[in-house]
Amino acid sequence: MAAAHLLSAEGSLGDRTRLGVLGWPVAHSRSPQMHNAALQAVGLSGWRYQLLPVPPELFAETVAALPQAGFRGANVTIPHKQTALALADEASDAARAIGAANTLVFDEHGGIYAENTDAPALIDALPFSPEGRTALVLGAGGSARAAVWALLAAGASEVRVWNRHPIRAEELCAELGAQLVADAGPADLLVNCTPVGLDAEPAAFKQLPLEADELAMFECVVDLVYAHGETPLVQAAHALGVPVVDGIDLLVGQGAISFERFTGRSAPLQEMRTAARAR
Ligand code: NDP
């Protein structure tokens, strides 16, 4: 049975003012505070955005029940992004190419449209266009797939991928057209798509193929991870004066595009940034 306690009959297909983020675990997510601030800022005061903690075995039936329970859409995070795409009736070309969706929009008949807003959010957040530039991506999971696809689609001349288990990176590279590497080397961009740094552990760099002072090899460091305080990667980049895009910048970017799909309103970026950075 679907996660019934999350779906109390607050709404219906005709009156859909509910949004949420599906994940397992998802308690750490800052999406509710960010989206609720945005809803308030644009005057959608009757709308609500909530956590939807749903385990994998209940994911499909919970998603199927959301429109009838008054949901207009939902964000999707670990570990459901691939399943979310598979459940959709329609999907954007980007979501299909990446193989994962982080945004589901329900139509008035309960149909499901899937999109990946992580990919455009990365490109929008960069301080320069990746066209003709090189990038080193750390990781080969769902967000690395979105990053590699987005960078190549935006014209990057070469995207290299390092992963702890090279076999996974090998598959990603073959599928998306990136280059497998065994070590870090200079590039215009570094994009961390591993969760290393989430716990602000001092040994973070031991889990990655580079040392803190080697971040000077990059023109910009992007860290998808957001934690309480700066991640070790962000801290090290700041210490070297290397421009940084952090995990909250990306959270706001992907959330803003999702917000516009859910509500049809322009996203109030400043309010979203402030709410996402509040503890
Ligand atoms: P996945 O689980 O799909 O992939 C995780 C990747 O990280 C794999 O390549 C895995 O390598 C690698 N990895 C995991 N642990 C370690 C470790 N200890 N040392 C080195 N490599 C490791 O996760 P996602 O791609 O979905 O997410 C990755 C991170 O990005 C998460 O922390 C997530 O919260 C964050 N994220 C942030 C977003 C934002 O908006 N700020 C958006 C999306 C993601 P292996 O294959 O060897 O296991």
The reported pTM is 0.94
Closest residue by CA, ligand 1 atom 4: 141
Q: Which residue among 81, 145, 160, 273 is the active-site one?
A: 81
Mind listing the pLDDT tens digit for each residue in 121-142? 999 999 999 999 999 999 999 9
Q: Which of 128, 150, 126, 148 is nearest to 137 (CA)?
A: 148
- Cα 173 to ligand 1 centroid, rounded to whole Å: 17
Q: Nearest 5°: phi and psi at 89?
A: -80, -35
Confidence band for 229, pLDDT divided at 50, 70 and 90? confident
| CB-defined site of ligand 1, < 6 Å | 78, 118, 139-144, 163-165, 168, 193-196, 198, 207, 224-226, 247, 250-251, 254
Q: Are 78 and 31 in contact (CB under 8 A)?
A: no
Mind listing the pLDDT tens digit for each residue in 150-196? 999 999 999 999 999 999 999 999 999 999 999 999 999 999 999 99
Confidence band for 200, pLDDT divided at 50, 70 and 90? low
Task: For residue 81, indicate whether it is catalytic.
Answer: yes
Longest pairwise C-alpha distance within the chain: 56
Mind listing the pLDDT tens digit for each residue in 34-88? 999 999 999 999 999 999 999 999 999 999 999 999 999 999 999 999 999 999 9
Residue 189 tokens read as 């961009």
From 143, 165, 168, 248, mutation site for ligand 1 pocket: most ligand atoms within 8 A of C-beta: 143
pLDDT of residue 108: 87
Pairing of strands 134-138, 71-76: unpaired
From 124, 171, 194, mutation site for ligand 1 pocket: most ligand atoms within 8 A of C-beta: 194
Closest residue by CA, ligand 1 atom 31: 195
